[in-house]
Structures are given as structure tokens and as C-alpha cells.
Chain A
Amino acid sequence: MTGLRVVRAGFVMNLKMLATSSFFLVTSTLQPVIFATIAFYMFRAGGQGGTLLYAALGAGMMGVWSTTLYGSGGMIQWQRWQGTLELSAGSPHPLALVYLPFTLANALTGAYALVATLLWGRLLFGVPLHLVHPFQFAVAVPVAILSLGLMGLLLASTFILYRYANALSNLLEYPVWIASGLVFSTSILPVWTRPISWLLPPYWGILAIRHAALGGSAWGPIVAALALGAAYGLLSTVTFGIFERLARDQATLSLT
């Protein structure tokens, strides 16, 4: 019961903090719209106007990933700057539980990106918003966001040891966009990248959303995204414990 209260309070608190961060709002709304615009023009120039919804969904998911990533890297760093990381580590709850609502709020904020790109595509480029399986779409979107949030939690745990977490966040943005095939099929990537794609929740998330929106069964990718998300969530409880202990040993918890 107390655990649920921690999740609820942390979730609401972080949503409020994110809503006042212009950096976050720009990342979650403007950036995906920029990428969506480029993708629209590129697909249109290639004579593939029918794939604009495909591009819009992908650009939206790019935004979800960016906000999750910046949020995960940023939340440890921000707490360091604000001097609250030690207080969080000293609370009686496991650190993973303390940060779970933060990363979920980050991912949910990223959902703005999906909405923003779909609206942008509809209003400026006339992208049809006809969904083949609306119910599956309604399930696929929250599952994708949840799985990304849980992956973000795992990343956040590693950032406890790393002083330059924000830089690492920047570095991971493009590779995951590429390996997940958010705006193109992963079949055009080198074969050796396939196993990497399979380990990424955004890969299954976009597959689920794409199937639900454009045709094909989304249930398989939805289950895969859920399973992968759960695995990352469990793994993060272990890594949070290890990295927190290491940071305490080396007295690096509050180093900025």
C-alpha cells in the first residue's frame, strides 16, 4: 500500500516538474514535429505519400524515446544538482521503486510527442488518421510507453555511477531510433543488428502501434513489449541495488 502511495506521489510530482520544464516540453513536442516534417517531405519526395501515417507514428515514437531517455538521464542528474539524490537513496523504499514513477511520468510526457506528430501530420500534411484496429491501437500505445519507461528505469540505474549521464543520454538517442526501425523497416539494416533490435522495447512498441494502425495483428508485439518491459523492470531492481551500493562505497552519490 505504501509502495503504491510512493508511485502515485512520485508520478504526480514528476509530471508537475516536467510540465514546467521548457526543455522537456520542447523535446516532447517540437523535436518530433521537426523529425516528422522531414520524414513527410522525404517520403513524399520518394513518391510514397501513402506511408505518411507510418512516418508520423515513427516520429511520434522517436519523441517518446527522447523524453524517456532525457528524463532517465536527467532525473538522477537533476536530483544531484538539487541535493535530493542522497535523500532519495536514504528513504526506506528501494531506490527502484522511488524512481519507477519518475520514469513512467517521463514516458507519459513523451506521449505528447505521438499526439503532436499525428495532429501535425493531419493538419499540415493531410495524413489520414484512419486506424485499422482502433482497440489494438488503444492497447498498443500505453504498452509501448510503459515498456519504454521500464527500459528508462534500467538506464537511470546505471546513471547513478556516471557523472555525465546527460551526455550518455544524447548518445543513445539516435542508435535506438535506428535499431528500432522507428521510421523505416529494420529489414534494410545489416543482419547483425537484428538481435539488438529484438532487445529494444521501442522496436516491439512501434511494431505493435504500426500493426494496430496500418493492419496486421498487434497482439504479438504487444506481448513482446510487455514481457521485455517487465524484464527490464526486474533487472533494474537488481542494478539499482548494485549501483547504489557502489556509489555509497565510493562516496560518489552526490558528485556533480
Chain B
Amino acid sequence: MKGLRVFFVGGLISYRALFGFLSLWIFVPALILTPIFQILLFAYIGRAAGVGSDEFYVIGNAIQYSSVPCLFAMTQTIADERFWQTLGPILISPAGRLPLFLGRALPVIVNGLFVAAFSLFVGGLLLGTTLDGATWARLAPVLLVGAFSCTGLGLVNAAIGLRVRETAVLSNVFVGLLLIFCGANVALSTLPGWMAVISRGLPLTHTIEAARAVAAGASLASVRGLLGREAVVGLAYAALGVAMLRFFEQQSRRHATLERV
């Protein structure tokens, strides 16, 4: 029961603290407006290059942009504790580490889902590639799996935040790499073989592929395999993240570097 309370209440408070501090003045430009412009940019590059359809870029970029909240917010909810010198009190509390850290992931996943869905909706409206209600219903679980998977990578990034200071730089690098590798703008068949192999091990790749198939009329059952693989990728990153958090926590205690900023 206590673990559940730490998971839900702790996670929610942590997330509110993050965005209470950042405010809507940051939330709206960064997570509501910018993804729309990213969609427009790549849709126009696609038109100029004569490759892909508007729908291809709307879906790809809306889902890829969910990596921004998933990576940044997940990292911030843990790395910021270090910056504000509150990490020590949290880590000496008797709360279990799993509900403590995973609880912080839950609001991040919900936020990632919202960003992807909103961008998909508005981007589609602007470029005339709107989806019907039935397609949206099939897309919802697809987007959710993608947000979960990317938050797993965010957990890895957050763990690294216990060791290094420049987590924002690292998040930017991850977001940039996802932009190239996850098939948001360049179809995997166009990428060199070694890049396509890496893509399969990254979050969002399978989600984007599944979402495009669903938008084209495929049933949820037919993309079950893709969603399963995406979930496995997310679980693998989440497990790695939790293991790294434990390891770096021990290292920080041993070397007395927990609160070094």
C-alpha cells in the first residue's frame, strides 16, 4: 500500500513540482507549439524533395516529438532533485526505489501521450490529413506504448543525470538521434542497413511504423507484433534505467558526489 502511495502520489507531486516551476509559459511553447512547427518543417522539406506524403511526416514527427517530454521530463524529475539538493533526503527515505522512480515515470508517459496526440491532431488539421474517430481509437494504445517505451529511455538518461551535469545536452542528443533513426522522416528502407538495425533497438521506431499502418486502415491486431516489440524495447530500457539508478546511487554514496552540481 505504501509502495502504491509512493508510486502515485510521489510521482504526481514530483511532476507538479517540475512544471509548477517551469510554468505554462514554458509548457505551451515547448510542448504544444514547437511540435506543430516541426511537423510543418519536415512536411515542406518532403514536398521539396518529392518524397513521402504529408501524413507520413505528420505521424512520424508527432510521435517522435513525444520523445521531448519523455526524455527531458523524466530526466528532470530526477536530475532536478540533485540540482535543488533534495535528492539526499529522498534517497535516505525508506521508500522502495522501484515505486519511487517508476512513479515519476507515470505522469511523464501521460504527458508524452498527450503531446503526440495533440500534435497529430493539429498537424493533421493544418496539412489536411485528419483521421476519423475509429482510427483515433485504434491509435490511442499505439501512442501509449510509444510514450511508455521512450520514457524507458528517459529513465536511462535520468540515471546518467546522477553522474553527469549536462543532462539537457544529453537529452538533446537523444532527441536528435531519434529524429534520424526512428523513421519519423526517413523511411527505414532508405537508411543504410546498419542504421536500420540500430533503429530497431530504439524507442518509437515500431510505434511510428504501427501508427502509419493503423492510419492507413490496419487493425490493431495486425500491428500487435510491432507494439509487442516496442513494449519489449521500452521494458529493456526501463530495466536498464532502474539498474543504472541503483548503481549510480551507490557510487554517489561511496564517492560522496550525490549533491555535487
Contact = CB atoms under 8 A, between A and B. Distances in A.
B177 A34 contact: yes
B235 interface: no
B180 A45 contact: no
Contacts of A195: none
Contacts of B41: 174, 177-178, 183
B51 interface: yes
Contact of A178 (B44, B46, B52): B44
A175 B41 CA distance: 8
B190 interface: yes
Contacts of B40: 174, 178
Interface in B10-61: 23, 25-26, 29-30, 33-34, 37-38, 40-42, 44-52
B34 A46 contact: no
B49 A37 contact: no
Given A41-B191, A42-B46, A171 B176 contact: no
A30 B173 contact: yes
Interface stretch (B102-110, B164-172, B209-217): B164-172
Contacts of A27: 172
Contacts of B179: 34, 38
B186 interface: yes
Chain A: number of interface residues, binned into ranges: 35 or more
Interface residues of B, number: 35
Given A45-B51, A164-B25, A170-B30, A34 B45 contact: no
Contacts of A184: 44-45, 47-49
Contacts of B172: 23, 26-27, 30-31
B205 interface: no
B203 to A, nearest CB: 17
Interface in A30-80: 30-31, 34, 37-39, 41-48, 51
Contacts of B52: 42, 45
Contacts of A31: 172, 176
Contact of A38 (B30, B34, B44, B185): B185
Interface string A173-193: 111011000011100110000
B232 interface: no
A250 interface: no
Contacts of B186: 38, 41-42, 45
A133 interface: no
Contacts of B50: 46-48
B19 to A, nearest CB: 12
A2 interface: no
A38 B185 CA distance: 7
B253 to A, nearest CB: 26
Contacts of A173: 34, 37
A163 interface: yes
Contact of A167 (B26, B49, B51): B26
Given A38-B186, A39-B45, A47-B50, A171 B169 contact: no
A22 interface: yes
Contact of A42 (B33, B34, B38, B51): B51
Contacts of A44: 190
A170 B190 CA distance: 30
Contact of A188 (B23, B44, B187): B44
B166 A188 contact: no
A175 B172 CA distance: 19
Given A34-B176, A184-B44, A46 B51 contact: yes
Contact of B187 (A39, A45, A167, A168): A45
Interface in A130-180: 163-164, 166-168, 170-171, 173-175, 177-178
Residue picked from B40, B173, B186, most chain A C-beta under 10 Å: B186
29 contacts: A23-B169, A26-B169, A30-B172, A30-B176, A34-B177, A37-B180, A39-B49, A42-B45, A42-B51, A43-B49, A45-B49, A45-B186, A46-B51, A164-B23, A164-B26, A166-B26, A167-B30, A171-B29, A171-B30, A171-B33, A171-B34, A173-B37, A174-B37, A175-B37, A184-B45, A184-B47, A184-B49, A188-B48, A189-B44
Interface of B: 23, 25-26, 29-30, 33-34, 37-38, 40-42, 44-52, 166, 168-169, 172-173, 176-177, 179-180, 185-187, 190-191
Interface of A: 22-23, 26-27, 30-31, 34, 37-39, 41-48, 51, 163-164, 166-168, 170-171, 173-175, 177-178, 183-185, 188-189
